[in-house]
Chain A
Amino acid sequence: MFNMEFARATMGAILREGLPATLTVVFWTLVISLPLGFLLGLIRFRRVPVLMPLSTVVISFFRGTPLVILIFLLYSALPDALARLAQIHGWGIDVYGLLLGSTKGYAVFICSTFTISTMAEIFRSALGAVEAGQLEAAHCVGLSTAQAYWHIVIPQALVSALPNLGNDVIGLVKGTSLMFYMGLKDIMGVAKTEAGPAYAYVEAYVDVLIVYVVLCFILQELFRHLEQRLRSYGAKG
């Protein structure tokens, strides 16, 4: 029935190869998405002309498209279309090699598209949650708007964004489990590769389940501690 030996061996492979790949993709996605998502959120919060409606379209697209479809679009359709374009115009570029040369790199790109979009909305609403009186008081003591944002508004917004950011990161971690469609050897990818020949999917999926649950639990606790520490000033909200 349940092949314990196989489950143990597969768990070993997942932890050796899959987990580092997942964490690498998540890490680089966050490195890219946190600052860009924040910038986009700020643009939306300040209602910057032109950029605001533009970002609405882009964000709606990436937030609204199911991840599987997004992977298909960006992994298959987009490179194909670009390759055709390159061929027609005789650019002589190896589109596939350029885009898909690094599976991890391309996975980071795909993950960043939707993570930036969701984070932009998180940061926008966190900025909106800072009381207007905080900015007014900063103006009254002689701070410029930029200074007030830097010292008062943004630090408060970051703290109040933390719970939602935590959820978003957990969503991202789980989202990467679909990247095996494009051949990424992440937690899911390794599990599937191992399970296929032995036809031991139940064992492999139980392994995957355990790894994701533990991983997400650790992340959840991490964010909880971070929030508690940063919120030491005791703000409500």
Chain B
Amino acid sequence: MIEVRGLRKSFGENEILKGIDVHVDTGDVVVILGPSGSGKTTLLRCINFLEKADDGVLTVGDMTLDLKSVRKKDIAAVRKRTGYVFQNYNLFINKTARENVMLGLTVGRRMPKDQAFAIATAALDRVGLSDRYDHYPSQLSGGQQQRVGIARAIALNPEVILFDEPTSALDPELIGEVLQVMKDLAEDGMTMLVVTHEMGFARDVASHVIFMDDGVIVEEGTPKDIFNHPQHERTRQFLRRILKGEAGEFGGSGI
């Protein structure tokens, strides 16, 4: 279980997050929707301390932290319990796929090499990359790179994985393979907090959908609530625009 309450974040004069509450139960998939610049990335980055929040309370499992005054130890503890999947993958370019997955185990957790090797291999198998263990990121397609990114996160056995638009840097024909991996993870009971513009994924996989705009949560509910009966004009506008784009461009992501 992971929860943030009253999360606030400003960059200089600009308040980007204006008091955000998000709650993800164990085994749930919470999808965050919202227009560009609404603060979705900043929200995920604050949860994982890639950005320092100005205010708010974070709960991960049995740990509760005041985000105003976190210590290094707390940051390490939260990161140990959370995985992060980046929009642009951020694979270690000087490491092979398997080394990418192993590094957090061998160096971060001081696990023996052979044990980490086995876990990394299994994680890559799980995302369908059994034939790419020793490839460098530059030798992989975007979809394959992002699947290594997911393997890197799951190998550390996190309690929750944060996904920041995992498919938005991908060519349309590669989106499906990554979404399928995420769908499989969700079915296996992984707790996930996912920022995405993939409406098909949100509708089919999410247990809860949040619509964010301009640093606040405008509306949230089940996928049915949000997609079939949106309460707010801003939500309706956003959905109209996105769904029209999907239908027009490539008819959805195909899952």
- Which A residues form the contact surface with B (CB < 8 A)? 131, 133-134, 136-144, 147, 151-152, 155-156, 159, 232-236
Contact = CB atoms under 8 A, between A and B. Distances in A.
Interface in B55-83: 76, 79-80, 83
Contact of B50 (A140, A144, A151, A155): A140
Contact of A142 (B49, B80, B95, B139): B80
Contacts, number: 72
Contact of A138 (B48, B80, B92, B136): B92
B36 interface: no
A76 B43 CA distance: 62
A197 B91 CA distance: 65
Contacts of B104: 141-143
A137 B100 CA distance: 10
B90 interface: yes
Interface in B109-144: 109, 136-139
B94 A136 contact: no
Interface of B: 48-50, 76, 79-80, 83-84, 86, 88, 90-95, 103-104, 107-109, 136-139, 152-153, 156
A137 to B, nearest CB: 4
A235 B139 CA distance: 10
Main secondary structure of the interface of A (DSSP, over half): helix
A149 B247 CA distance: 45
A79 to B, nearest CB: 46
Nearest to A234: B138
B84 A140 contact: yes
Given A151-B107, A234-B138, A234-B139, A140 B93 contact: no
Nearest to A232: B136
Contacts of B109: 142
A227 to B, nearest CB: 13
Nearest to B72: A144
B207 to A, nearest CB: 24
B219 to A, nearest CB: 30
A211 B163 CA distance: 59
